[in-house]
Structure 1
């Protein structure tokens, strides 16, 4: 009779936490996976334009837009392949008198896309912590390094938000380097920052400390991406969401065990054991949790902000994002 496993395409980033599945050390029950390791920009573009994959990483923001509108081809499970503190995501000109977040008011800020998950989280803490509202600045959108990038999905923003497109042929990085905008907010550093441009710096002098202080107060470890399963598949195979959830959990647990085995460090970075210890001291042993209960407060805060910004057409409840079978997890 042969192998009756489901052959499924799975598009995710090449993270240590998914390597055990890619390498075959962790199996997904009943699934014969074809992994495609791609950049999030490529995955999201193909997922939201064409639903190319059976299972894939999804931008939390784009997925929330689509879920609120009832047009998502995917249903998520509470696996979060990408999370990041975003205090490192604000880059400013050093010659514009921007010393603290409040100084961003009245400035021109470049973004690759307005609705990017990272940018929603940054706007959340800029307003909650420093009183800087989205309507206090002018947003300039365009590709970071390629002038042809566009927003993946159409946005309906409130009238007091000032958004303009970058001039023809210009990139966000080139505008910042030339001083035509005052700051950039986005999930990766603009190339002018990476190249050491003398007038481009982080907004926060010590973004690591700023983020740790914020976490200590809010207990928010921002979720960037979740994991989607094509809805038709989840309907045909009710066991699939649970099987995928279990494998992603096991894979992450194995990656963390390897990370903490520092007799011969697996990661090309000195002092990685100190980083791990510091993360667990600040955030607890399971500092990168999957599962609904452990993350409901984070998802809920994001959805409240997302709707307040006019990005999602209605205020979603956290549980609406996830397949019902994945809301409760059994303990292994």
Structure 2
């Protein structure tokens, strides 16, 4: 898709950026520019527009999960990543299990089934990396129960991926014991039965930070 822009005057750009503490002032119009105006799509969750951006270049500017961008780069999609992090967080607390069905630790994961929205989701990528590098869990020893297709048609999920029945919900499957654990991120239920798979995850994250020296970034900004 070839884009054309006016040679002079203010530029209006379509955008897909969700509301976070880092973006609220921009989206509220408190930060403005005489050169550029953003017409934001207003999606509650930016990932709802990722597929349209990657497949159709629907937006002039878009938030993008870093794992998805790296896949787009691998398949020569021609997007440029701007060094602007709009969403990042520690990830150790993002995987949990239902204590009603027994106790679970990272070392128990081989042979288990773990729900995650998509295998290519950035949070899932970070968590798999943490489990592999810090706890010795081979990602291929786990069955990853997924719900959404990859954003890129060229990408093929590994054999360890199993598709949940149509209409299933990862939180409900975790609560009902249909999966052993779930990478749920911000959707982790506030329920006393749900326990973090990684013991004292915030302490573990700070110890990881002391070694890595960064907060794991989830979403950057990309342009075609």
What range is the shorter-chain TM-score in?
Answer: 0.7 to 0.9
Higher strand share: 2
| Structure 2 counterpart SS, 1:37 | coil
* Residue in structure 2 matched with residue 54 of structure 1 by the alignment: 60
* Residue in structure 1 matched with residue 124 of structure 2 by the alignment: 119
- How far the C-alpha of 1:203 sits from its partner, in A, is 1.4
- How far the C-alpha of 1:169 sits from its partner, in A, is 3.6
| Structure 1 counterpart SS, 2:108 | helix
Q: Deviations over 1:13-46 (max 9, x none)?
A: 1122223323334334621222333212222133
Supply the RMSD in Å over aligned alpha carbons. 2.0
* Residue in structure 1 matched with residue 162 of structure 2 by the alignment: 164
Structure 1 residues 228 and 29, CA gap change in structure 2 (3 angstroms) = farther
After superposition, residues 9-20 of structure 1 pair within 5 angstroms as 9-20=14-25
Q: Deviations over 1:169-220 (max 9, x none)?
A: 4222222111111001133324xx23x2x54222134322111111012213
Instruction: Note if contact 2:19-2:27 (Cα within 8 Å) is conserved in structure 1.
Output: no
* Residue in structure 2 matched with residue 177 of structure 1 by the alignment: 175
After superposition, residues 56-95 of structure 1 pair within 5 angstroms as 56-72=62-78, 74-94=79-99, 95=101
Instruction: Note if contact 2:92-2:130 (Cα within 8 Å) is conserved in structure 1.
Output: no
What TM-score results when the alignment is normalised by the length of structure 1? 0.60
| Distance across 1 between alignment mates of 2:87 and 2:61 | 15
1:212 aligns with 2:210: no
For the pair shown, which has the larger CA radius of gyration, 1 or 2?
A: 1
Structure 1 stretches of at least 4 aligned residues deviating more than 3 Å after TM superposition: none
Question: Which of 216, 222, 233 is the aligned partner of 2:216?
Answer: 222
* Residue in structure 1 matched with residue 50 of structure 2 by the alignment: 44
Structure 1 residues 184 and 103, CA gap change in structure 2 (3 angstroms) = same
Question: Which deviates the most, 178-187 or 39-48?
Answer: 39-48
* Residue in structure 2 matched with residue 5 of structure 1 by the alignment: 10
- How far the C-alpha of 1:77 sits from its partner, in A, is 0.9
Question: Which deviates the most, 164-173 or 78-87?
Answer: 164-173
Q: How many residues align?
A: 214
* Residue in structure 1 matched with residue 36 of structure 2 by the alignment: 31
| Structure 1 counterpart SS, 2:186 | coil
After superposition, residues 101-250 of structure 1 pair within 5 angstroms as 101-142=106-147, 149-154=148-153, 155-157=155-157, 161-190=159-188, 193-194=189-190, 196=191, 199-230=193-224
What TM-score results when the alignment is normalised by the length of structure 2? 0.86
Instruction: Note if contact 2:16-2:46 (Cα within 8 Å) is conserved in structure 1.
Output: no
Unaligned runs of 5+ in 1: 143-148, 231-332
- How far the C-alpha of 1:53 sits from its partner, in A, is 0.9
Higher helix share: 1
| Structure 2 counterpart SS, 1:80 | strand
